[in-house]
Amino acid sequence: MPNYRSHVLVCNGTGCASSDGVTVVEKMREELERQKLADEVLVVPTGCHGMCEMGPIVVVYPEGVFYCRVTPDDALKIVNEHLQKGVPVESLLYKDKDHGDVVIKSYKDIPFYGRQHRVTLQNCGYIDPSNIEEYIARDGYEGLAKALLEMTPAAVIDEVKKSGLRGRGGGGFPTGTKWGFCAASPGPKKYVICNADEGDPGAFMDRSVLEGDPHAVIEGMAIGAYAMGADEGYIYCRAEYPLAIEHLKHAIAQAEEYGLLGEKIFGSNFNFTLHVKEGAGAFVCGEETALMASIEGERGMPRPRPPFPAVSGLWAKPSNINNVETWANVPQILYKGGDWYAAMGTDKSKGTKVFALTGKVKHTGLVEVPMGIPLREIIYDIGGGILNDKEFKAVQIGGPSGGCLTKDHLDTPITYESLPELGAIMGSGGLVVMDEENCMVDIARFFLEFTQRESCGKCTPCREGTKQMLLLLEKICAGEGDMKDIDLLEELGVMVKNMSLCGLGQTAPNPVLTTLRYFRDEYEAHIKEHRCPAGSCQALLSYSIIQDTCKKCGLCAKNCPTNCIPGNREEGYKIDSEKCIKCGTCFTKCPFKSIAKG
């Protein structure tokens, strides 16, 4: 094998791949071949590096030089300048705009990365996910070997309990305790299942782990299967994740080839077979009983509990379900010890958490931080603050099942205990940041519309309750609401939470209830004043031309799709409010900001 002087890591996760990241790899390899440098420089396609809005990302080692927004043409520059002459291409380096466009060469010095603590994501962006040997070189399968060769199943469960690991899929139930329930259930046949049915709007944590480090999940499931006495497992992944599924299937085949899946693993008596089940993309299948029904070939609908899956799960056999992030933590806990993991986080919320940071924030992407970190540090220190330096308004945490928190909560530590007190939940890890231009009534409507559409319809409280709540929100957004609607919304929200069969219905009202709790004044403005304070609800908008600043250029009239702006350059222009469809084209096209929106 050649002794490479440079390793070039190119992000080929879904986000960067869609921005020509795959072509960057091809062009770079072609140019290295042409210049006869292929034996000196290795180009490695990796999973997600995390800083998604800067992709495609290229990192050159051993220097650690970080290039962002690299095009296929830029790839040739990197080869010709950096890899051939040793001179970094400065135009492609990261510039810290918050500190005077300071150029930063190394990824370690970029605040987005420097303030994180990566455990789940330690291999994402650093290894070739299609090469099992690169995973093994970073201590891969050491945890499984330790479990099988040095520990009893009960000792493995005790180590997971000692770590304090809690389910990262939403509920936060202690993982070791959950494993103990399944292990204690009698019967020769048991299953372990990975919930990779990530359906939250704006969430891509699980997808990125499966794309960038699939062996971590495989190893974690094998350890769990040994601990609970299972010999078969399923990874339930939505079909909309084709790259994740491709990498998973390839990784499973490699693990089988290396004797890390199959029979008598590491020469022990432990046998484990793993399958990939592609889901059709129903959000309700994130609920564990609905997910199991889908694996069995039935319609994905929740089942009443008890019996719980640990007693009667997949095909009525004892089963355990954890999500991608939970399983990916297990190998390191076994290899490094439960005490090592428990040293991170807080007393009751141990370890780290991966968040998908999206919305009105400067640096979107994947971030992994210790439990207990305040929201302010994630949004401002890691995310770089609010886009276009606008005013922070709220953050939706926990996806459509979570809740909206305000600027008064920016210093709240993120834990499984603190968030429910505020009306939110940890969820799977979505963080959607909003600024002054977001209408909180419309935000509540957006998330409820999603959960109402994804309701399986099995139970009446969820099926009918969410529909009625949505109709009330649509009525308020249209300026047709009544003050009684606010009380009815709250009453319905509490009813749906308390009476729904599964987690979808039990959490669907959260965005509505938290926005009512913290932004009631916006609801009242929509109802009493027929006004949207954020200028977002189209039905309540009106546009007019500010005559004092209007330059009479006619761009507004020229671009208006309904020709509702009569006038000329001599006499000026005026918007016909009766014909105006409130599309906002004039507002966005005016270069002089002479269109008033209210």
Round to whole Å and give the CA distance between 293 and 303. Answer: 9
Residue 102's pLDDT is 79
31, 162: one domain: no
Residue identified by tokens 């939250």 is 200
Residue 99's pLDDT is 63
Residue 105's pLDDT is 79
329, 357: one domain: no
Give the total residue count for the chain: 598
Residue 339's pLDDT is 97
173, 301: one domain: yes
187, 223: one domain: yes
364, 244: one domain: no
Q: H or E stretch including 58?
A: strand 58-61
Range of the domain at 39: 6-111
In order, the DSSP letters of 270-335 are --BEEEEEEE---GGGGSHHHHHHHHTTS------SSSPTTTS-GGGS-EEEEEHHHHHHHHHHHH
What total of structural domains would you count in the chain? Answer: 5
Residue 1's pLDDT is 59
Domain with residue 484: its CATH number is: 1.20.1440.230
261, 319: one domain: yes
**Could you say which residues of the chain have pLDDT below 70?**
1, 98-100
Does 560 map to a domain?
yes
Domain with residue 40: its CATH number is: 3.40.30.10
Q: Where are the beta strands (DSSP E) in 324-385?
A: 352-359, 365-370
Does 573 map to a domain?
yes
The residues facing 95 across adjacent strands are: 103
145, 69: one domain: no
Round to whole Å and give the CA distance between 593 and 551. Answer: 10
104, 18: one domain: yes
Does 120 map to a domain?
no
295, 188: one domain: yes
Domain with residue 231: its CATH number is: 3.40.50.11540
Q: Give the contacts of 101 (CB within 8 A, at least 6 positions apart).
A: 95
410, 326: one domain: no
At residue 579's C-alpha, the angle toward residues 578 and 585, to 5°, is 120
324, 364: one domain: no
Does 116 map to a domain?
no
Round to whole Å and give the CA distance between 471 and 368. Answer: 38
**Dihedral of alpha carbons 260, 266, 267, 271, sign:** negative
Residue 257's pLDDT is 97
Q: Where are the beta strands (DSSP E) in 456-594?
A: 543-545, 567-568, 572-573
Residue identified by tokens 């693993």 is 265
18, 151: one domain: no
